[in-house]
A and B are shown apart, each in its own frame.
Chain A
């Protein structure tokens, strides 16, 4: 400190870390020097008015009336002491993560109503120090990047949902989502300016965007992709799958493997026949099959053979699997949250290692912060 009480300040690294802003913790005196680095902006306020935003790296000597003679004279005569403050802001970009809490219902032409969840990362920085300090940090009293991210991430999810809605109206379907992720990122980026610029925050980049589909839809999308690659229809594809499954499950030994292949081929033909017969119209005069012999697809309503595992029209899985209740052993639907016999909770939950939010056992990402499990 000098004879007149002035000093040189800089934003110490230990105060910096994840703080997006820092207010100097003393009244600035006449001649105080402040160092502004490449990655910083300093806002100098005197009597509540902003005089300058110092965004060039340099050392600045500040002036005010907290000077040795004039300041003391003013204070002695009027009791008034000028208030001079300095606020530092970080210019560098911060990374945040977002993830949807609630699924977005996407009405798809091929797959019907599909629940989507989105996860990803965004990069943001202070775009207008004027609005950031006065309207965002000043009003909401936020100082850390975590608080700012919390504010942004819910909005990001909504913007992505809006972008998906817009792109759906232009003909994008669920099966096109993966190939359109870079486009979705750009659509969302173009919308962020209207939402965040007024707070002085700019979204630089969206990366790692992932739109998660429900398992059954994902399987159906994969099946369709495989069918397109192999140039087969659904019945051919399924018979091929059945053969492969049977062949890969021999009881042991070369002879048994041969039996397995034979059984697989046999089963495949049986399935094709079953599907074909289900698709054929009943001949005139013959009795239609009894209702209990036909399994209706829960998705498209097509009639299927009782033993069929998949719908011959849309490929939806027909056999409902059950899992045993860990407490009483009763057979329970895998979707059930509680055992209908003893009321034991069925779904195991896992805790996010980052934010501590409880998620379903099947979750791949934390619905709160998007952390990968």
Chain B
């Protein structure tokens, strides 16, 4: 996976380079570039989730065609809505900030940690994706019982992803319990 921080650093234009030399502006520029890198990374993660959601929407379409009275339609609708919620959390998540004289400061090292934490979420997305693969097999086999089981599995994993994402700020601030 590319390191977006490096890319942002390499692509700094003339104005940004001048800003890095201005006293009082340098710290702002460095931190804001890191926040931008993290935001780009989160948007990419959100896109991965959106692709998974699209796949789930296709599954729902298949289920409607095969068995419109299936009891699994309601759970799959709930999971799709949960995906939308998590995509929103990723897109609009906290960027990592502390004001003047904050109790716990978020500086460049913490912002780097935040980026790395978010980058580590890719593995969790892959883990969720595996369960979607199993769900696909169950739906293709038109096996309602196994589909229900796999849907529970997907829900459990996306909930796990959401919980992990919720903890990011408290973990990098060192106050997570």
Q: Report which A residues bind B (CB closer than 8 A).
A: 31, 44, 49-53, 60-63, 65, 67, 69-70, 74, 78, 128, 130-131, 133-135, 193-195, 197-198, 200
Q: Which 8 A-B pairs have the closest CB atoms?
A: A51-B97, A194-B78, A61-B100, A198-B85, A131-B88, A130-B92, A52-B97, A134-B92
Of residues 96 to 120 in B, which have CB atoms within 8 Å of A's CB atoms? 96-102
| CB pair B85 A197 closer than 8 Å | yes
Chain B residues positioned under 8 Å from A198 (CB to CB)? 81-82, 84-85, 88
Chain A residues positioned under 8 Å from B15 (CB to CB)? 78
Residue of B nearest to A56 (CB): B103
Taken together as a complex, chains A and B put the C-alpha atoms of A193 and B79 apart, in Å, by 11
| CB pair B100 A134 closer than 8 Å | no
Residue of B25, B88, B99 near A128 (CB, 8 A) is B88
| CB pair B100 A31 closer than 8 Å | yes
Taken together as a complex, chains A and B put the C-alpha atoms of A61 and B25 apart, in Å, by 18
How far, in Å, is A343 (CB) from chain B's closest CB? 46
How far, in Å, is B170 (CB) from chain A's closest CB? 11
Taken together as a complex, chains A and B put the C-alpha atoms of A197 and B22 apart, in Å, by 44
Chain B residues positioned under 8 Å from A61 (CB to CB)? 99-101
Taken together as a complex, chains A and B put the C-alpha atoms of A74 and B28 apart, in Å, by 13
Taken together as a complex, chains A and B put the C-alpha atoms of A296 and B148 apart, in Å, by 50
Residue of A49, A65, A69 near B95 (CB, 8 A) is A49
The answer to whether the Cβ of B35 comes within 8 Å of any Cβ in the partner chain is yes
Residue of A53, A134, A194 near B82 (CB, 8 A) is A194
Of residues 1 to 46 in B, which have CB atoms within 8 Å of A's CB atoms? 15, 22, 24-25, 28, 35-36, 39
| CB pair A50 B92 closer than 8 Å | yes
Given A51-B35, A61-B100, check contact A131 B85 (CB 8 Å): yes
| CB pair B91 A134 closer than 8 Å | yes
Chain B residues positioned under 8 Å from A52 (CB to CB)? 94-98
Chain B residues positioned under 8 Å from A63 (CB to CB)? 28, 99-100
Taken together as a complex, chains A and B put the C-alpha atoms of A135 and B82 apart, in Å, by 14
Residue of A nearest to B23 (CB): A70
Residue of A nearest to B36 (CB): A49
Residue of B28, B35, B88, B95 near A134 (CB, 8 A) is B88
Chain B residues positioned under 8 Å from A130 (CB to CB)? 88-89, 92-94
Chain A residues positioned under 8 Å from B93 (CB to CB)? 50, 130
Taken together as a complex, chains A and B put the C-alpha atoms of A198 and B24 apart, in Å, by 40
How far, in Å, is A60 (CB) from chain B's closest CB? 5
How far, in Å, is A143 (CB) from chain B's closest CB? 18
Chain A residues positioned under 8 Å from B145 (CB to CB)? none
Chain A residues positioned under 8 Å from B97 (CB to CB)? 44, 51-52
A and B contact pairs by CB, cutoff 8 A, 26 listed: A31-B100, A49-B35, A49-B36, A49-B39, A50-B92, A51-B94, A51-B95, A51-B96, A51-B97, A60-B99, A61-B101, A69-B24, A70-B22, A70-B25, A78-B15, A128-B85, A128-B89, A130-B89, A130-B94, A131-B88, A131-B92, A193-B78, A194-B82, A195-B81, A198-B82, A200-B88
Chain B residues positioned under 8 Å from A51 (CB to CB)? 35, 94-97
The answer to whether the Cβ of B77 comes within 8 Å of any Cβ in the partner chain is yes
Residue of B nearest to A80 (CB): B15
Chain B residues positioned under 8 Å from A70 (CB to CB)? 22, 24-25
| CB pair B82 A62 closer than 8 Å | no
